[in-house]
Amino acid sequence: MKKLVFILLLALSIGSCSNDESVGPNTPSSQKTSTNRLSASENVKLLSAWTSYSQKYGYASYSRRFKVEVKNLAYNKIVVISHKMSDGSWKDFPLKYISSTIENTEIWGAEITINNSYYVGDVPSLLFADEFVARYEVNGQKYWDNNGSKNYKMTDLEGTFLRTDLNLTVDTTYSAIYDQYNGITNIFNVNVDVRNINPTKLVNVVYTTDNWNTTKTAALNFKQYITVGAQQTLISPNVHGMERWGVNIDVPASVTNIQFAVVYKVNGVEYWDNNFGKNYTITK
């Protein structure tokens, strides 16, 4: 069976990229290993973070999502986000294993939500402060990503943050297959965040509904607003220079499984997000 392979190109900087390094589908170089995202001296690094706040009917919800990459130094390991709280203390939030990569690293992540009540008599919850770090424990050692001793800092309503060598990420929370209940078509919805490197850019999704026997490509559109929670939106790009792009694609109602990857083309360079070499899969 013919299989389409995508390579996720993660460049250290725009200046270090060339068109020869930017590989897409069905190219000879698509079998090459992508640039290692962790240097020889790094064992853990924050991939992305996301913050959201919403309030309704006397209740407030504070949500944060994190993804961290670690070197696979042993099977047994602990990965946490250590977050400063509103009372000045630090609290550990454990992350869960998500997937492995072709470079012997692993992706860990979690979404953490704190709900708070503003009704008289209710005890308020301990809320997030603005600082956090990532910690990786393995083989009796502790490794930290504290943003070069400056700690990472995000307020309650910022949307997506990507580390500096990443320029594209699929928002799996807001990408799905939706039933139109007409017996004819469903909607394949894709949303991604891209770094605003240049106003002139293209963002495409390459997808298959038959396990890569055939493929289709669709252009994503810039979205002026970023939905980050109930009744909460941000202007695109956000404070971290991340733009929201998305598209709704009609697919046959019989389709229940879609595999896809996303490519961001800017300044003559292509950046791929293919879920670390495994492609994204959405099942209805």
Q: CA angle, 269 as apex, 187 and 204 as ends, to 5°?
A: 10
d(CA 93, CA 79): 9
Sign of the dihedral through C-alpha 63, 256, 258, 223: negative
Residues of the chain with pLDDT under 50: 1-36
| pLDDT of amino acid 229 | 72
How many angstroms separate the CA atoms of 275 and 175, rounded?
Answer: 14
Q: Quick one: pLDDT at residue 250?
A: 95
pLDDT tens profile 138-161: 999 999 999 999 999 999 999 999
pLDDT digits (tens, 9 = 90+) for 111-135: 999 988 766 556 567 899 999 999 9
Per DSSP, the three-state class of 7 is coil
C-alpha–C-alpha distance, residues 35 and 70, integer Å: 15
Q: Of 154, 138, 133, which Cα lies nearest the Cα of 238?
A: 154
pLDDT at 119: 63
Q: What is the pLDDT of residue 118?
A: 65
Query: How many residues in the chain?
Result: 284
Strand extents, DSSP E, 59-184:
59-71, 77-85, 90-94, 96-100, 105-117, 128-138, 141-145, 152-153, 159-162, 168-170, 176-179
Domains located in the chain, CATH noted: 14-36+167-283 (2.60.40.2440), 44-162 (2.60.40.2440)
